[in-house]
Amino acid sequence: NKSYKIDFEPVGLRGKCMPGISLLECARTLGVDLVNLCGGNGTCGQCIVQIIEGSVSCLTKTEENFLSPDQINQGYRLACKTIPLSDLKVSVPPDSLTTPQRTQVESMDLPVVPEPLVKMYDIEMTAPGSNDLCSDSRRLINRLKEQYNINVLSIDLDVLREMPVYLRDNNWKARAVLRENKIIALGCQDSRLAGIAFDIGTTKIAAYLLDLNTGRTLASKGMMNPQIKYGEDIIARLLYAQESQKQALHIREILSNTLNQIIGDLCSYAGLTNNDIFEIVVVCNTAIHHLFLGLPGKSLSLAPYIPVTDSELDIKAEKLGLKTAKGAYVHFLPNIAGYVGADHVAMLTALEILEQKGIVIALDIGTNTEICLLNKGSLTSLSCASGPAFEGAHVKFGMRAGQGAIERLRIENNKVIYKTIGGKPAKGFCGSGILDIFAWLYKAGIMDRTGKLTDNHPLIRKINGINHFVINIKDQDKSQCFEITFSQKDIREVQLAKGAVRTGIQALLKANNLTEKDIDKIFIAGAFGSYIDVKSAKTAGMLPNIPSNRFTQVGNAAGLGSRLALISRSRREQARYIARQVEYLELAVFPDFPEIFAKSMYLDS
Ligand code: FES
């Protein structure tokens, strides 16, 4: 019987399952901890998963009882009632995991005084009469000037359409919602003023709901980017959208549907409704920006990767299919280049990069790593294709940072000592664990500078003619032993990834006539960057070998930047300014690129 390959995302666990068994069984076999309070009887409704790719058995009556029609349309199923009929890609929502994937702890308070672009004003007017014939809009504008000294410059057409009935029904009292000097909506008496900041990554989406008056983050949520089913890499998604209008629309809609789901969830956590959301800020890479806005992506998918626009944009939320208050806008921070997007701008804004002193590097390590160098007030950025190895892909026992992932490891006296996330039996390695393996194999003399594993060592074994570093794992009750491995092939994958990051840093320095010794500070942003052991990253040759106190791990700086741009007009202006200051460096045409890249593959370089 042929087995099926099942890939559980975003936990990053995948493997083979025999036909005929339920997805819940598959999850158990592969170590994915799905909630199953009823033990798979179909009575708790907790084991919800989303089928992203592949075919499964028909929907059962039981599932119809637990899932909404919307969920069913989006491919949600109960894992215990679903049988795979082909290879599958399955997304596991955080609520369906007994122990969720680790997310970064982020401060709910922001280091700024709120200065939102959108504000609400309560006003009272006198009714028109034979001595007072001015128009409804003039009456509103005049009153805003008298009561609040605001110069209204324009009123949205939708507001004009509803205004006559609204004013008369409310006895000439109004709650005007202004965005800068434009009236965008007329609120109800119980309207709250809230906004959402989205950081839309290639793989994951982070979202934050903020009270626009106080600046407080009321709720946050992470989710998979549903566009992943059209390609893990962004070029595949751009090509998919180029094939037809229908496909371009589809890839937009699946994203807006997910954003609507997030908006709904965040509002219900915070006791708000969609009608309280008056402003949204989006930061993402340039390709996701183009896909979301329905901009042609052809020139972006081919060298020299030219975007349609790099300007900031303000677009009505309803035009993007988002369910918010009437009149709400979505603000897109500016991009820099085809592969350096608004998420990079948001990171630099959050770091207040232009206020930093000396030679400063800021980087966010992901499938694409964007790096910026600050030198005497000028900024140069580039992007390098570091690939998904640190996210667990292309490495046999690689996985994302979930329960049971080895996140720290060291080798002492030929013994492997490791720590897993949640203290669970090891299932694989996440990015920080992979870097530790790299560093310790080298320090223990098991791997040389070129990344070659030695033939003779008790921790090394040949499997199918290839050297593997082997770790013996004991199950929780210590009754079973099994092995997880890291092969010579895995090492080569990681060398490409870490070599790309180091090449990017060196190219920026070289273009500025600097060397690594000149660096005063390195900011490491992003989920992976927050958890790495900087010493291991230096030994592995991913980061420059400069004193450890020059490194700062800053968490999700792009997400912070998007929140700041949502809540603070001046931070939004800074983002605009930074984006225009950055000079873009194209790594692929950098003269010494092949040479630098070859050297960056070594360890301890
Ligand atoms: Fe309870 Fe599936 S495990 S419904």
29 CA from centroid of ligand 1 (Å): 16
Instruction: For the chain, give percent helix, strand, coil, nearest 5.
Output: 35, 30, 35
From 344-353, 372-381, 385-394, the region with the lowest mean pLDDT: 385-394
% of the chain exceeding 70 in pLDDT: 97
Q: What is the mean pLDDT of the chain?
A: 91
Cα 440 vs. chain centroid, distance in angstroms?
30
Residues ≥6 apart with Cβ < 8 Å to 217? 106, 108, 109, 110, 208, 209, 210, 563
pLDDT of residue 476: 62
Mutate to test the pocket of ligand 1, among 21, 46, 98 (most ligand atoms within 8 A of CB): 46
More confident call, 187 vs 258? 258
How many helices and strands in the chain, by DSSP H and E? Answer: 17, 27
pLDDT tens figures, 322-349:
999 999 999 999 999 999 999 999 999 9
Inter-residue contact 345 to 584 (CB < 8 Å): no
Q: What is the C-alpha to C-alpha distance for residues 318 and 329, in angstroms, rounded to an integer?
A: 8
Atom nearest to 35 CA in ligand 1:
3
Could you tell me how many residues make up the chain? 605
The finding on whether 327 has its CB within 6 A of some atom of ligand 1 is no
Sign of the alpha-carbon dihedral angle for 36, 38, 41, 46: negative
CA dist., res. 128 & res. 167, Å (int): 11
| Ligand 1 contact, 459 CB (< 6 A) | no
Tell me which DSSP letter residue 510 carries: H
**pLDDT of 75:** 92
Residue 23: CB within 6 Å of ligand 1?
no
Number of Cβ within 10 Å of residue 36's Cβ equals 19
286, 337 Cβ separation under 8 angstroms: yes
More confident position, 299 or 9: 299
Residue 108 confidence (pLDDT): 64
User: What's the 30 CA to ligand 1 centre distance in angstroms?
Assistant: 18
Distance 91 CA to ligand 1 centre (A): 16
- Does the CA dihedral 183-184-190-196 come out positive or negative? negative
Question: Crossing angle for the helix pair 245-270 and 234-243, nearest 10 degrees?
Answer: 120
Residue 314 has pLDDT above 90, yes or no: yes
Alpha helices by DSSP H, listed for 409-487, are 431-443
Q: Tell which phi-psi region holds residue 216, choosing left (phi > 0), alpha (psi between -120 and 50) or beta.
A: beta
pLDDT at 231: 80
What is residue 104's predicted lDDT score, i.e. its pLDDT? 47
- What pLDDT sits at residue 103? 45
Ligand 1 contact via 42 beta carbon (within 6 Å): yes
**Closest Cα partner for 553 from 563, 562, 543?**
543
Lowest mean pLDDT among 34-43, 117-126, 413-422: 34-43
pLDDT at 30: 82
What three-state secondary structure class fits 193?
Answer: coil
pLDDT surpasses 80 at 39: no
User: Nearest CA to 557 among 587, 532, 527?
Assistant: 527
Closest of 505, 503, 385, 496 to residue 434, by C-alpha? 496
Q: What is the DSSP letter of 398?
A: B
Domains of the chain: 4-96 (3.10.20.30), 118-187 (3.10.20.880), 194-332 (3.30.420.480), 342-387+495-600 (3.30.420), 389-488 (no CATH)
The number of the ligand 1 atom at minimal distance from the alpha carbon of 34 is 3
How high is the pLDDT of residue 163? 96
ipTM over 0.85: yes
Instruction: Judge whether residue 107 has pLDDT over 60.
Output: no
d(CA 459, CA 449): 18
Ligand 1 near 83 CB (within 6 A): no
Whether 137 is in the pocket of ligand 1, judged by its Cβ within 6 Å, is no
Contacts of 195 (CB under 8 A, 6+ apart): 116, 118, 209, 210, 212, 277, 278, 279, 280, 281, 566, 567
Task: State whether residue 121 is helix, strand or coil.
Answer: strand
Q: Give the residue-averaged pLDDT of 34-63.
A: 88
For the segment 46-74, the average pLDDT, to the nearest whole number, is: 92
Q: Nearest to residue 495, comparing CAs of 407, 399, 605?
A: 605
Asked if the model's pLDDT at residue 569 lies above 90, the reply is yes
Q: Is the dihedral angle over the CA atoms 317, 318, 323, 324 positive or is it negative?
A: positive
> Any idea what the Cα angle at residue 134 is, between residues 128 and 135, rounded to 5°?
95
Residue 35 Cα to ligand 1 middle (Å): 8
**C-beta of residue 285 within 8 angstroms of C-beta of residue 293:** no
User: Is the distance from CB of 358 to CB of 395 less than 8 angstroms?
Assistant: no
Give tens-digit pLDDT for 487-521: 999 999 999 999 999 999 999 999 999 999 999 99
Q: Region 523-545: what's the mean pLDDT?
A: 92
Taking the centre of ligand 1 as the mean of its atom positions, its distance from the CA of residue 81, in whole angstroms, is 8
pLDDT at 94 > cutoff 80: no
Query: 571: exposed, middle or buried (C-beta count within 10 Å: 0-12, 13-18, 19+)?
Result: buried
Over residues 570-596, mean pLDDT? 93
Ligand 1 pocket: which of 23, 32, 47 to mutate (most atoms <8 Å of CB)? 47
Count of C-beta atoms within a 10 Å radius of residue 142: 14
Q: Residues with Cβ < 8 Å from 36, sequence gap 6 or more?
A: 24, 44, 46, 47, 79, 80
Which atom in ligand 1 lies closest to the alpha carbon of residue 41?
1
Q: Which atom of ligand 1 is found nearest the CA of 36?
A: 3
Q: How far apart are CA 527 and CA 407, in angstroms?
A: 13
Provide the residue type at 92 as one letter: V
Asked if residue 78 has its Cβ within 6 Å of ligand 1, the reply is yes
Question: DSSP H helical segments within 407-487, as ranges?
Answer: 431-443
pLDDT at 67 (0 to 100): 92
The letter for the amino acid at 161 is R
412-470 residue pLDDT tens? 889 999 999 888 888 899 999 999 999 999 999 999 999 999 998 999 999 999 999 99
Mean pLDDT of 232-240: 87
Ligand 1 atom with minimal separation from the 78 CA: 2
Q: Residue 28 in contact with residue 15, Cβ under 8 Å?
A: no
The angle at the Cα of 532, spanning 361 to 457, to the nearest 5 degrees, equals 125
